[in-house]
Amino acid sequence: MTRTRNLPGVNRNFRNLWLAQTGSTTGDWFNQVALAQTTLAITHSAEAMGFVLLCRSFPGFVLGPLISPFVDHFDKKKVMIISD
Amino acid sequence: MRAVFVLVFILAVVLKHSACLFIGAFLLGLGGVLFNPASQAYLPHIVKSGDLAEANAISSTTSGFVSVFSTILGGVVATFISPVICFSVNSVSYLWSAFFVSKLLTVKEHAAATRSLDFIRSLSEGLEEVKRNQVARKIIIIGISWGLAGGGYYILIPLIGNTWSGMEGMGIGLLYSVDGLGVISGSLLVKKHIKQQIARMHWFYGIAYVTQAVFFTGIALCSDTWWTIFMLYFMRVSSGIIIPLDSTILQINTAPEVRGRVFALHGSTYGGFMQLSYLTSSLMFANLGITLTGAIIGSVSLFCGMYWLAGMQHRKRIQPPP
């Protein structure tokens, strides 16, 4: 745990977490644009767009509170790797 | 999991079948349920509490930069080559993420975590913490309120982008890149002006919800392309302040042994109401129009800001002078 002005430069763990998040965020935005375009191209419907987004967040809503104890109980690193 | 699940979208493109979109979105959501709470709960183990605001601001700033380039590039690739490439990039990005996560140090867990898992007790401990912890409770309530309305924002952007003639994916990509620029600017403000100042952190958080409301309503009210971009930018500057502060305030005010559960609860309640919002706001956009729906969504954000600021005033009144 190091306190400096350049956190990613000196804190190796933060740098790795930051690189991991940056990589997956890059992909997520590619997905976001392509998914919106594909959905509107196939369905031509705002409701369908809403339903796609709904499907994506539904598991989090239903399972999130139920499986939250696992986050504190299991190794967070393993949880992140399996999710990816 | 997510690296595999995202490939279902490629099937949707190839088969031109909307069911694949819904299944793919569901699986992708399923794969990501634990990732964010785990990473948010992991961060305070590797960064000092005084550096948390800066660490969260760096993450949001980077996320903003990435969104600008990725959405423009994604829009170009999706429009001129194929959305299949975009989904493939997304799959590889999860493998990249897993690689760097595997290089993280395994942190020593709190004693409570090394006990055998008593599921019900563990679940109720998380709920108890939210009931007891005033700050966590307020952030969760605000998350629910904004979640109830904020889904409309994610539908509004593709709707507006898609109406810009001849641009299709590029129009959506352009708007998301403005979104990213706004988030970068807001996060840089946090990084530069807040750092370890807890009181300022709380003020910025409440005020940003208020300005977010004003500019969101502006997006819905104006029909001019450049005004839309202008309003969107300032709305997302506000979001760029809210995003890192939301995580930081919660990380600072939650005990490490229950932090994962509190973040999971926050994420699931916020995400859950957001998904309800996808449904309601898509129907509202279709039936009430963009202007009225936008004004309603803006009012909810205004409520969030006022609720937080009123709570701060209340705390100030009941706290004895030092």
Could you tell me if A6 lies within 8 Å of chain B, comparing CB atoms?
no
Mean pLDDT by 10 residues, chain A (84 residues): 63 88 88 86 80 80 74 80 86
Give A-chain residues touching B257 at CB under 8 angstroms.
72
Residues B135, B5: one domain?
A: no
Which residues constitute the domain of residue B19? 1-32
pLDDT of residue B224: 77
**Smallest CA–CA distance from B25 into chain A, residue:** A56
- Single-letter amino acid code for the residue at B76: V
Residues B145, B11: one domain?
A: no
**Smallest CA–CA distance from A43 into chain B, residue:** B18
pLDDT of residue B275: 73
Strand, coil or helix: B151: helix
Quickly tell me which residue has 């996320």 as its tokens.
B63
In whole angstroms, what separates CA B304 from the centre of its chain?
A: 15
Domain membership of residue B111 (yes or no) is no
Strand, coil or helix: B196: coil
Pick from B62, B87, B112: CB nearest A18: B62
pLDDT of residue B110: 57
Q: Would you say B144 and B157 are in contact if contact means Cβ atoms under 8 Å apart?
A: no
Please state the pTM of the whole predicted model.
0.70
When computed from its CA atoms, the radius of gyration of chain B, rounded to whole angstroms, is 20
Separation of alpha carbons B37 and B126, rounded Å: 13
Mutation pick from B18, B52, B87, B100 vs chain A, by most beta carbons of A within 10 Å, is B100
Domain membership of residue B97 (yes or no) is no
pLDDT of residue A3: 45
pLDDT of residue B114: 53
Q: How far is B210 from chain A (nearest CA, A)?
A: 25
CA atoms lying within 13 Å on the CB side of residue B45? 22
pLDDT of residue B81: 86
pLDDT of residue B237: 93
Mean pLDDT by 10 residues, chain B (322 residues): 87 85 87 81 81 81 81 83 89 91 75 59 76 85 79 79 65 81 88 78 88 85 81 91 88 82 82 78 82 82 81 65 47
DSSP conformational letter for B77: I
Domain membership of residue B17 (yes or no) is yes
Q: Tell me the residues of chain A between 13 and 72 that have a Cβ less than 8 Å away from chain B.
A: 13-14, 16-40, 42-43, 46-72
Size of interface A-B (CB pairs under 8 A): 343
Q: Where are the domains of chain A?
A: 7-83
Kindly determine whether residue B39 and residue A17, on different chains, have CB atoms separated by under 8 Å.
yes
Decide if the complex's ipTM is over 0.85: yes
Q: How far is B168 from chain A (nearest CA, A)?
A: 7
Residues B6, B52: one domain?
A: no
Give B-chain residues touching A10 at CB under 8 angstroms.
none
Residues B226, B176: one domain?
A: yes
pLDDT of residue B146: 78
Q: Structural domain tally of chain B? A: 2
pLDDT of residue A2: 43
